[in-house]
Amino acid sequence: MLRCQRSIYSVFLLFTLTNAFDITSLEPIADKNIQTGNRMLYEREINANISQAVAAKEDAADGVIDVNEIPVRYDDAQLWRIYNISEHMQNNMPLAETLENQFGGVIWKENSKFLDISINKDNLKAARSYLAEHNIDKEVVHTNIQELIDAVELEGIKATQSEAGSRTKKQARSGINWKDYHDLETIYDFMREIRSKFPKICRLYSIGKTAEGRDLKVLRISENPREYKKIWIDGGIHAREWISPATVTFIVYQILSKWESQPAYIKQRTWYFMPVVNPDGYVYSRNVNRLWRKNRSPSSSSSCYGVDLNRNFNINWNGRGSSTNPCSDTYRGTTPASELETKAVENFLSRRKHNLSAYLTYHSYGQYIVYPWAYKAVKVKDSAALQRVGKTAAERILSKTGTVYRSDVTHALLGIAGGGSDDWARAACGAKYVYTVELRDKGEYGFQLPPSQIRGTAEEGMIVAETVAQAIAL
Ligand SMILES: *[C@@H]1O[C@H](CO)[C@@H](O)[C@H](O)[C@H]1NC(C)=O
Ligand SMILES: *[C@@H]1O[C@H](CO)[C@@H](O)[C@H](O)[C@H]1NC(C)=O
Ligand SMILES: *[C@@H]1O[C@H](CO)[C@@H](O)[C@H](O)[C@H]1NC(C)=O
Ligand SMILES: [Zn+2]
Q: What does the pLDDT read at residue 273?
A: 98
DSSP 380: -
pTM: 0.84
Which-ligand-closest: CA of 53? 1
Q: For residue 328, report the distance from its CA to the centre of ligand 4, in Å.
A: 15
Mean pLDDT for 9-28 is 40
- Domains of the chain, earliest start first: 78-143 (3.30.70), 184-471 (3.40.630.10)
Rounded distance between C-alpha atoms, residue 46 and residue 451, angstroms: 24
**Angle in degrees, 0-180, between the axes of helices 243-257 and 2-21, rounded to the nearest 10:** 140
Check residue 70 and give its pLDDT. Answer: 82
Residue among 355, 357, 433 to mutate when testing ligand 3 (max atoms within 8 A of CB): 355
Q: Is 58 in the pocket of ligand 2 (CB under 6 A)?
A: no
- Measured distance CA(419)–CA(133) in Å, rounded: 34
| Distance separating alpha carbons of residues 416 and 414, to the nearest angstrom | 7
With beta carbons less than 8 A apart as the criterion, state whether 458 and 246 touch: yes
Of 459 and 53, the one with more pLDDT: 459
Cα of 149 to ligand 1 centre, how many Å?
A: 23
Half-sphere exposure (Cβ direction) of 438: Cα atoms closer than 13 Å: 25
Instruction: List the catalytic residue out of 100, 438, 460, 466.
Output: 438
Query: Measuring from each residue's beta carbon to the nearest atom of ligand 3, which residues come in under 6 Å?
Result: 227-229, 354-355
Q: How far is the CA of 354 from the centre of ligand 3 (A)?
A: 8
Chain segment 210-241, per-residue pLDDT in tens: 999 999 999 999 999 999 999 999 999 999 99
69 is catalytic: no
Per-residue pLDDT tens over the stretch 35-62: 444 445 444 444 444 455 556 655 665 5
Q: What percent of the chain has pLDDT over 70?
A: 81
Q: 189 near 209, Cβ under 8 Å? A: no
Q: 469 with 231: CB under 8 angstroms?
A: yes
Identity at 6, one-letter amino acid code: R
Rounded mean pLDDT of the chain? Answer: 87
Report the alpha-carbon distance of residue 138 to residue 410 in Å, rounded: 25
Q: Which of 80, 81, 82, 84 to mutate to test the pocket of ligand 2 (most atoms within 8 A of CB)?
A: 84
Distance 473 CA to ligand 3 centre (A): 12
The atom of ligand 2 lying closest to the CA of 87 is 14
pLDDT band at 302; cut points 50, 70, 90: very high
Among candidate residues 147, 152, 194, the one with its CA nearest the CA of residue 172: 194
Lowest pLDDT segment from 92-96, 120-124, 377-381, 443-447: 92-96
Q: What is the CB neighbour count within 10 angstroms for residue 360?
A: 26
Q: How confident is the model at residue 303, as a pLDDT?
A: 93
Tell me the pLDDT tens digit for each residue of 370-413.
Answer: 999 999 999 999 999 999 999 999 999 999 999 999 999 999 99
